[in-house]
Amino acid sequence: MSSLFLLQYTCLLVFAMQTLVLVVSRFQVSVVNRQYEKSRWSLVAAAVLLMIHYGLQMACGFRAHSDDAGVIVNILFYTPVTFLVAHSILNLECEKRRRRRYDLLFGILLVATFVAFGNG
């Protein structure tokens, strides 16, 4: 096995464990806050996307075949993951109006990223 495959497998396992901890931590909270729950599930979605990303890289070998394909796949997965992590932080820190502005701006950037890779 190559060291790249082992690294991707390790990353997959790490994010699987993080996802499990995030899901199980829901049962350890005595008071449920809606904003806190939305932030938790945003982090779970980000971790699941990263698990899918590493699984696809191991199964299809995007990074092993060429650096260009690996970079494109990384950008297509890391962009929404970055949004979800930042959204979970902003959900706890900012008021609703400011968070919606951020979501709108990032939604536009996300669509522009996918359109740019779709046309290229």
Decide: 15 and 54 in contact? Cβ < 8 Å: yes
pLDDT in tens, 38-89: 889 999 999 999 999 999 888 888 777 777 888 888 888 888 899 999 888 8
Confidence of residue 1 (pLDDT cuts 50, 70, 90): low
For the residues of 49-98, what is the DSSP string, one character each? HHHHHHHHHHHH-HHHH-HHHHHHHHHHHHHHHHHHHHHHHHHHHS-HHH
Q: How far apart are CA 39 and CA 83, in angstroms?
A: 12
